[in-house]
Amino acid sequence: TSDMKVDVLVIGAGPSGCVASAYLHQQGLNVKVVEKTTFPRFVIGESLLPRCMEHFEEVGLLEALKAANFEIKRGARFLRDDIVCNFDFSDKHSEGWDWTWQVPRAEFDTILAKEVEKMGVTISFEHEVVAVDIADNGTSTTTIHDADGNPYQVEAKFIVDSSGYGRVLPRLLDLDKPSSIPEHSSIFGHVKDVNRPEGEEGTLITFDVLDKDTWFWVIPFSNGDTSLGFVGKNEFIDSFEGDTSERLKTMFKQSDYYYERFKDAPLLFEPKSIRNYSKAVTKFYGNGFVLTGNSAEFLDPVFSSGVTFATESALKSAKLISKQLKGEPVDWEEDYANYIKSGVDVFATYVKEWYTGNLQTLFFHRPENPEVKRQICAVLAGYVWDKTNPFVTKHNRIVKTLAHLINMENEKSASV
């Protein structure tokens, strides 16, 4: 016997859990969210994509976010040696939002969770899901530890696992599988941006490319702090000595462009590190449950797709759950798994082609081809389901082919 019955149990109150629970609640369903930590809590994932604005808008979370005055992100800048590649979201192939934000997630996620509570959803903070038992008819009994460690059980018609790095159902139901993305690791932290230049230069989100496998991000926030993070192969990240502060500071010496700005910037906490962050699962849904956001899949931070994928999958799955619980038939394979996979596959190709160097060849080739750039820009804005974009529909060939042509052209001009 359970202590409580709900329609839907949502695990995790990050962006994915908040978007799912807001939608389900608006459909008149009885939703409970359990969140292991207390908010505000730190989580990485600070650069958003325009596409996710649609999700927050649709479930009524956008206005509260707007009021927080986060730094506006209108594009993204990639640097390599002295070549600059600037994407402007207002100049892209697909229809849709042309701006978003760069956000300290502790604050951002707290606003989302508070708004969802205001709508009438119960979020139990410091409650941790420890076990799940799903019956053949999909009804589940979940064991949760409350803040004092006391166990209780919740019966639900459906579970949304939005537990992010907690990966609750992939762990409990043994759904993990190796990711197809090459292994990389990261060290990241926040600094007080004491030397921030005036104007756009100070607030631009930038990806500084050191070599094919190694890059770092600069994500300035509107509160005057900036997020800095290095990404590289494990061997690169492991080759630096000392604690994470020392390692981050030493790595920073490699950036000609940013070293002066950040060399004296005080770190706001001991930087964090994460190894082999890419994750994948054997299935995105099952009898009585669905995986959303990072709990389902995480590729790589290079195109900032994490939160957008988290909210896209949350909203999509919430719509299907609501249909199903109203007695309508739902084709989870077609309308969830295949839909989500088609978007993830586009990003996966771009991530892989980033690390083969092919995409970098396209980004940094001069002169730029404006049409190609607009089409790639739409992908980078998160519009990876737009079938009018050849950089979506032909993703697994087009980047490779164009890079090959550019390389041949370069070889030809080098040999003249």
Query: Is residue 375 part of the contact set for ligand FAD (CB under 6 A)?
Result: no
Among 140, 304, 349, 361, binds ligand FAD (CB under 6 A): 304
Is-contact 197 207, C-beta < 8 A? no
Binding window for ligand FAD (CB under 6 A); candidates: 39-47, 248-256, 344-352, 371-379:
39-47
Smallest gap from Cβ 89 to ligand FAD, in A, equals 15
By CB under 6 A, how many residues form the interface with ligand FAD?
Answer: 39
Query: Is residue 206 part of the contact set for ligand FAD (CB under 6 A)?
Result: no
What residue has token string 């032909």? Answer: 394
Query: Is residue 164 part of the contact set for ligand FAD (CB under 6 A)?
Result: yes
Query: Is residue 226 part of the contact set for ligand FAD (CB under 6 A)?
Result: no
The helix/strand/coil state of 108 is helix
Is-contact 372 332, C-beta < 8 A? no
Binding window for ligand FAD (CB under 6 A); candidates: 36-44, 63-71, 345-353, 402-410:
36-44
Query: Is residue 46 part of the contact set for ligand FAD (CB under 6 A)?
Result: yes
Torsion of CA 271, 275, 278, 280, to 10 degrees: -120
Smallest gap from Cβ 351 to ligand FAD, in A, equals 12
Query: Is residue 228 part of the contact set for ligand FAD (CB under 6 A)?
Result: no
Interface residues for ligand FAD in 9-28 (CB under 6 A)?
11-17
Among 94, 179, 186, 361, binds ligand FAD (CB under 6 A): 186
DSSP letters along 139-156, please? -EEEEEE-TTS-EEEEEE
DSSP letters along 231-254, please? EE-HHHHHTS-SSHHHHHHHHHTT
Query: Is residue 307 part of the contact set for ligand FAD (CB under 6 A)?
Result: yes
Give the nearer residue to ligand FAD in terms of CB position, either 189 or 293: 293
Binding window for ligand FAD (CB under 6 A); candidates: 164-172, 191-199, 376-384, 402-410:
164-172
Smallest gap from Cβ 407 to ligand FAD, in A, equals 29
Give the nearer residue to ligand FAD in terms of CB position, either 13 or 378: 13
Interface residues for ligand FAD in 121-150 (CB under 6 A)?
128-129
Report strand pairing: 151-161 vs 4-11.
parallel
Query: Is residue 170 part of the contact set for ligand FAD (CB under 6 A)?
Result: no
Query: Is residue 104 part of the contact set for ligand FAD (CB under 6 A)?
Result: no
Q: Which of 380, 233, 360 is nearest to 305 (CA)?
A: 380
By CB atoms closer than 10 A (0-12, 13-18, 19+), residue 120 is: exposed
- Tell me the C-alpha distance between 363 and 275, whole Å: 27
Please state at what angle helix 306-325 crosses helix 339-356, rounded to 10 degrees: 170
Type of residue at 355: Y
- Tell me the C-alpha distance between 3 and 234, whole Å: 46
Query: Is residue 288 part of the contact set for ligand FAD (CB under 6 A)?
Result: no
Query: Is residue 97 part of the contact set for ligand FAD (CB under 6 A)?
Result: no
Smallest gap from Cβ 401 to ligand FAD, in A, equals 28
Q: For residue 121, is it left (φ>0), alpha (ψ between -120 and 50) or beta?
A: beta
Q: Which of 219, 193, 176, 186 is nearest to 71 (CA)?
A: 219
Binding window for ligand FAD (CB under 6 A); candidates: 92-100, 157-165, 189-197, 334-342:
157-165
Please state at what angle helix 105-119 crosses helix 15-26, rounded to 10 degrees: 20
Among 284, 298, 336, 363, binds ligand FAD (CB under 6 A): 298
Smallest gap from Cβ 400 to ligand FAD, in A, equals 25
Is-contact 383 374, C-beta < 8 A? no
Which spans of this chain sit near ligand FAD (rule: CB under 6 A)? 11-17, 34-37, 43-48, 128-129, 162-166, 168, 186, 188, 229, 274, 277, 293-294, 298, 301, 304, 306-308, 310
